């Protein structure tokens, strides 16, 4: 009996250490997320633990969310809205960069907002597909419903604010980047390092790391003609890069 307990203990320790290793590998070297309004007009970061989502102003009293963070009750988002005297009804739309659970859960707190995602990630967002431990764990309904499936190159117009949609497959098959209000929202497809450079998604967390890199290089090419429009790059698990399109262009040059 004692021996069995010893082995169980050891197995548990290995699992805990492996998990800690994955978390460390996923987040070390990244610039920290800073909660609050930006120096650029109409933008606000909501920090929800290790992930962020973004409020994009659509007008005086309306916002769109880029991603919905990790918390089903959306506490951090509600606090972010309340700081500006806004309630949950101010959220008109939620644009998901991809369907991973830590980016979508808060959508449940805004049932009136229209949820959008690239078509390829809709099954993941709704919980009809899983990404990790495929075949071992059955898919579980997330409760999130995508009301509008997006396509690459589409332009979404929300109260006069345009969101350009770019497919950047690799982290997930339906990963998207959105360009709105001069900000390129990257979800998990890119990170910002402590040195202020752009890095691809961490290998361990991605379906296809090589495709992720190729998608970033292609995005740099596609955005080159409108480089002057891009003032910032906003990843989901690290801080915002306020250096225009340059970090993406620099990444593309060496990859």
Closest approach of Zn ion to the CB of residue 171, in Å: 6
> In the complex with Zn ion, which residue's Cβ is closer, 209 or 244?
209
Closest approach of Zn ion to the CB of residue 82, in Å: 27
Closest approach of Zn ion to the CB of residue 70, in Å: 11
Closest approach of Zn ion to the CB of residue 100, in Å: 3
Which string of DSSP letters, residue by residue, matches 214-251? HHHHHHHHHHGGGGGG--EEEESSS--B-STTHHHHHH
Interaction pattern, residues 167-206, with Zn ion; x per rule: CB under 5 A: ---------------------x------------------
> In the complex with Zn ion, which residue's Cβ is closer, 57 or 67?
67
100 forms part of the interface with Zn ion (CB under 5 A): yes
Which residue number is nearest to Zn ion in terms of Cβ? 100
> In the complex with Zn ion, which residue's Cβ is closer, 57 or 100?
100
The footprint of Zn ion on residues 60-79 (CB under 5 A) is none
- Give me the residues that bind Zn ion (CB under 5 A), please: 100, 188
């Amino acid at each position: 009996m004692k021996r069995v307990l010893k082995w169980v203990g050891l197995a548990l320790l290995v699992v805990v250490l492996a998990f800690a290793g994955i978390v460390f590998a996923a987040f070390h070297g990244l610039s920290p997320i800073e909660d609050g309004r930006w120096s650029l007009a109409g933008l606000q970061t909501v920090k929800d633990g290790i992930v962020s989502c973004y409020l994009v102003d659509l007008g005086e009293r309306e916002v769109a969310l880029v991603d919905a963070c990790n918390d089903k009750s959306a506490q951090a988002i509600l606090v972010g809205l309340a700081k500006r005297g806004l309630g949950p009804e101010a959220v008109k739309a939620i644009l998901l960069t991809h369907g991973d659970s830590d980016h979508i859960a808060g959508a449940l707190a805004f049932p009136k907002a229209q949820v959008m995602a690239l078509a390829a990630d809709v099954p993941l967002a709704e919980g009809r597909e899983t990404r990790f431990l495929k075949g071992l764990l059955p898919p579980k309904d997330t409760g999130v419903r995508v009301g509008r499936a997006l396509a690459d190159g589409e332009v979404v117009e929300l109260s006069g604010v345009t969101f350009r949609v770019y497919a950047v497959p690799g982290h997930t098959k339906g990963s998207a980047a959105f360009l709105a209000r001069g900000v390129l929202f990257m979800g998990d497809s890119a990170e910002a390092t402590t040195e202020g450079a752009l890095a691809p998604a961490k290998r361990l967390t991605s379906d296809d790391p090589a495709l992720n890199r190729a998608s970033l290089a292609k995005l740099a090419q596609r955005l080159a003609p409108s480089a002057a429009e891009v003032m910032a790059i906003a990843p989901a698990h690290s801080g915002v890069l306020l250096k225009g399109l340059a970090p993406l262009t620099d990444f593309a040059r060496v990859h």
